[in-house]
Amino acid sequence: MLHSLHGNLAWKYFSASILLCTAPISLAGQARGVVCSGGSGSFRLKFKTGVTVSVGAQKQAGFAAHACEARLEWDGQSLVAEPSSWQVDIDALGIDLGLGSPVVAFQIKNTDLDGFMRYEIYSLRKPPQKVRTIVGGEWYSAADTDLEGRVEIWTDDAKAINRFEDIPPSAFDFAPPVVLRFEKKKLIDASAEFQPAYDGRIDALRAQLDPRQLGDFKASDGKLKSLYPPTPEEWASLRDTKVKVLEIVWCYLYSGRDRQAWDALESMWPAADLDRIRAAILSARADGIRREVERVSPGLPAHFKNKKVTIFDPPSQVDPRSNDLAWAYAPGMSGPGELDRTFSADSFPVRILMERPIPAEGSDVSVRTEVPVELVIDAAGKVRSAKAIANPDQDLIQATTGWKFVPAFRFGLPVASRIQMGITPFQ
C-alpha cells in the first residue's frame, strides 16, 4: 500500500556538477501513482507564467464527489480542462514538450474500467488553451530520456491489442511499447531510436519460450479456434506461447525493425496462418496509437548516444518544502550567456506526486524513520536514479520511479538536477 508523503521533508544540497553517461529508460513496468483517483488526492501550483494548475475532487453542491477535475486559473478567469473523470493525473508541468511553450500534460481516465488514458496537453501561457490530445495508450510518461533536455513521451499501444485475436488484454505481459516526441510541433514516433530498450524484452521473452510448446504451437492452426487441443491445459499452453511470439514480433516491429519482425514471425508461427496474422498485426497497428503520429523516425546512428550530460544543483536559498515556485539567479549571474562556475540551477524541483509504501510488518524500517535519499531528477521532472544514503529501504527506492516533480530550471529551461532529501511519511 502506498501513502502520500505528508510528513517532514528534510532537504540537503550538492555543490558539485556531475558528468555521466546515461542509458534510455527501461521499458519495464514502473510504479504509476496518480494525483487524483476516485475523488481522492489533490495538487495546486501557480506557475511562473501566472497560470495556476489545480487537480482535485470534483465539487457537487459544495461537496467533494468520487470523481476528479482539473482546472487552469489566471487573472480571475478559469478553464475547466477536465470536469469529471475517475482519474486525473499530472504527468508533466512547466516544460516545453516541443510545442513552443511551457505546458501541463494531464493523464485522464474516464472510469476505473477503461483500458486507455487520454493525454491532454494545455499551454501555460495566458490565456491557457488545449494544444494537443493523444489517445490509445494505457499510460504515458514524459521523460528526458538521455538527460540532454529533449523530452520523449513513453507510452504503449494498448488500443492495438484491444480484442486482438480475441485475447483479453490481461493475458498479455505488456502492450507494444511506443516512444513519442514532438519536433517542430509535429508528433513523431521515435521508438526506433531506443532499440536497446526493446532488446531487453525480446531476450527475456525468448528465454521463456519452451521448445516443445513452441513446436506444438507451430503445429496448430494459429487461431486456436479448432477443437484441438482436447484439454484446457493444452489450450492455455498454446495461447501463452502465442502471446509471447506476438510480443517478440511487436518489439521488433514497433522499434523500426520490420524485417526482423517478419523473420521472427515466420520462424515461430504456423506457416498456413502467416499471411492472415501478418495482415492482422499491421491493421491493428494502423488503427492504434500510430494514428496520432505525423512522422516516424528512422532511428539515430550510434554516435548520437551516450553523450556526457551535466546534472545541476538547485539553489540552496529555495525552500523545497513549499509548493510555490521560487525563482532566483545563482549568485553572480545576471542572465543567460554568463557561465555559472557552480553549475547551479535557478529553481528547485517542486513535488507533484510522491508516494511511499508503508514499511512491511516486522520490517526494520519504522513508519517514523527518516530515510535520506539521493535523487537525480530529469528535465521532465521524473526520477532517473535513487539510492538510500542510510536505513536502506528497497520498497521506497522502487516507489521513487513513480514520483513526479516540476523540474529545476536554468535560464528559463528545464534541467536535470541532483538532490538529497530525507523522507518521513508521518510527523
CA distance linking residue 152 with residue 197, whole number of Å: 14
pLDDT along the chain (427 residues), means of 10: 35 30 44 89 96 92 79 97 96 96 97 92 97 96 91 96 93 96 96 96 97 95 79 91 98 97 98 98 96 92 62 65 40 33 76 79 61 90 88 80 93 90 64
pTM: 0.85
Cell of 394: 528497497
Coil vs helix vs strand at 2:
strand
Coil vs helix vs strand at 147:
coil
Q: To which residue does cell 524513520 refer?
A: 369
Instruction: Quote the radius of gyration of the chain (alpha carbons, Å).
Output: 23
Position 243 scores a pLDDT of 98
CB 176 within 8 A of CB 243: no
Position 395 scores a pLDDT of 80
Position 225 scores a pLDDT of 82
Encoded amino acid at 173, one letter: D
CB 18 within 8 A of CB 327: no
CA distance linking residue 299 with residue 194, whole number of Å: 8
φ and ψ at residue 204, rounded to 5 degrees:
-65, -40
Helix axis angle, 258-268 relative to 232-254, nearest 10°? 160
Position 387 scores a pLDDT of 86
Cell of 370: 527518516
Taking the mean position of all CA atoms in its chain, how far away is CA 405?
A: 13
Position 422 scores a pLDDT of 80
276 half-sphere exposure, CB direction, 13 A CA radius: 10
354 φψ region: left (φ > 0), alpha (ψ -120 to 50), beta (else): beta
CB 12 within 8 A of CB 370: no
Cα separations (Å) of 258 from 155, 250, 264, 265? 20, 9, 10, 11
CB 320 within 8 A of CB 348: yes
Cell of 410: 536554468
CA distance linking residue 41 with residue 307, whole number of Å: 39
Residues 6+ apart with CB under 8 A from 338: 332
144 half-sphere exposure, CB direction, 13 A CA radius: 30
Taking the mean position of all CA atoms in its chain, how far away is CA 85?
A: 20
CA distance linking residue 328 with residue 274, whole number of Å: 62
CA distance linking residue 159 with residue 141, whole number of Å: 17
Residue 362 class from Cβ within 10 Å (0-12 exposed, 13-18 middle, 19+ buried)?
Answer: exposed
Position 16 scores a pLDDT of 30
* Closest by Cα among 249, 251, 242, 92 to 181: 92
